[in-house]
A and B are shown apart, each in its own frame.
Chain A
């Protein structure tokens, strides 16, 4: 164990989260996941593994899906983040949220926020995805409860409902 090092100072970092500007004081290597959960109180984004394997921590960064457990907060200074709390909904549930709830796409719910955001991104790329495209688009989001079947159904259902958007 190396000698005890004095902690560095926290930095002031600007984040745009779900359409709102925030300033946080954070260590530069603090994980975006922890900043969202602990400093902004946005606990919808979950930690499942801390290794970038399970996708429970997925958020959308400047329009791209990323695992927030692997993002040092300094790197998102000034950038746009979408978390599950910010899913566009017009006051109602987003079609994906509705579909996940109805079609059995959520069981214990812990993978659900990341899974829904991954699905959201998938539908942006493929508005009417084939089952193979759904599988591949969600391969980075692990679900232990559902066996994935009803997650595929939920994404299909949402893509059919959103047709014409």
Chain B
């Protein structure tokens, strides 16, 4: 345990206004913390730069899964367990449920939050590929006007996102357009449970009589941030899905990724597995 605990301040305001006011008054000083399953690990490794933490745990507005006709809305503090237990999520956004079940294990899932996962910004995070293929939006709150941001624009670099220092994530919105689609998500980790992802591929597709009507492909752990594979999608969109198309898509996806060698895996492995997972996804659509 390598943090000097006495010099860390943690405040837990009771209202959203209190939170936003503090952030506005002292931008860059306060680091929001929800379940702590990422930040506390950094903290204990002695690597948490911020000395002032702002707990969001008491804010009721940030909780809950709600639905309108067109959107399902997940409060920032929605935990992985809540996602897994939601009948609605299981029905319409099964990839997020899968990702949630693969994030850490039960104890992590009870505390970890969806907003925390994306704010932490690890390129290996489990939820982002699913969020990307589901065309998620993120709503950011501050004392200024709220901002709606496409999740696909949220990350702009390695662990850098476009949030301002006075903003928090309010909720994540998912358009209810997944009906009739084939959902695919596969994570390759260091073991079968409680594993950091080496490669993860999410796919969402609607193929009608062999024609690709809708295609979304996203990847984790093969770039400085989670990515949508726009070029690969472009190769496939409105095209007849056959072997040639699949091969073209595989060539395209290689050009979209920039995997590295790191403590868990190699660039070469990540590249090959990316291609193999895409092949598995697309070949599955042929049948």
Interface residues of A (CB under 8 A from B): 5-8, 27-31, 50-53, 55, 58, 61, 64-67, 69-72, 74-75, 77, 118, 121-122, 136-137, 139-141
Contacts and interface: CB of A to CB of B under 8 A. Distances in A.
Given A27-B8, A30-B5, A69-B44, A75 B36 contact: yes
27 contacts: A5-B51, A8-B6, A27-B6, A28-B10, A28-B11, A29-B10, A29-B43, A29-B53, A52-B41, A64-B81, A64-B110, A65-B110, A66-B107, A67-B37, A67-B111, A69-B40, A70-B36, A70-B41, A71-B111, A74-B12, A74-B55, A75-B10, A75-B55, A139-B105, A139-B192, A139-B194, A140-B194
A70 B40 contact: yes
Given A27-B8, A67-B111, 5 more contacts: A8-B9, A52-B107, A67-B107, A70-B41, A74-B12
B193 interface: yes
Among B7, B8, B106, chain A packs the most CB atoms within 10 A around the CB of B106
Contact of B44 (A50, A58, A122): A50
A52 B9 contact: no
Interface in B173-213: 192-194
A53 to B, nearest CB: 7
Given A5-B51, A70-B111, A29 B8 contact: yes
A29 B3 contact: yes
Contacts of A71: 36, 40, 111
B189 to A, nearest CB: 12
Interface of B: 1, 3, 5-12, 33, 36-37, 40-41, 43-45, 51, 53, 55, 57, 81, 104-108, 110-111, 192-194
Contact of A52 (B37, B57, B81, B193): B37
B235 to A, nearest CB: 37
Nearest to B11: A28
A51 B196 CA distance: 13
B36 to A, nearest CB: 5
Q: Top 10 closest A-B pairs, CB basis? A: A140-B105, A7-B6, A139-B193, A28-B10, A29-B8, A70-B40, A64-B110, A5-B7, A139-B105, A67-B107
